[in-house]
Amino acid sequence: MTKVQKTEAEWQAELSPEAYHVLRENGTERPFTGEYDHTFEPGTYRCAGCGATLFESDTKYDSGCGWPAFSAPASEEAVEEEGDASYGMVRTEVLCASCGGHLGHVFPDGPHPTGQRYCINSAALKHEER
């Protein structure tokens, strides 16, 4: 897949300050404050940076973690995962496979059948209703 490549100035001009902080600076929004934490309408969740399809609403669930949670990405190619040892924790970071934007983290405590909890920042997403 060809990666979306833009300068930092282009990203800053196109994204809200919060989306830029999350997607390009590996930031996070405060828990329970994100737009999509309690949104469960049918639709597709796309990357706020490049518009790539990341998650579908049928995999979204209320995990109580304070961020939107999904049991699986829309496809195996939608996201990339990398080790993250920042802040004294060992986690798995989730990135948009199309633009490399930081989305959140994945944890092995989700529901069946995947057992995964993709804990994703609302600021990194745009919900497209069906």
**Residue of 47, 50, 96, 119 marked active site:** 119
Q: How far is CA 103 from CA 79, 96, 112, 120, 130, in A?
A: 9, 7, 22, 5, 22
Give the three-state DSSP class for 10. helix
| Distance separating alpha carbons of residues 66 and 121, to the nearest angstrom | 9
Among this protein's residues, is 119 annotated catalytic?
Answer: yes
Provide the annotated active-site residues: 119
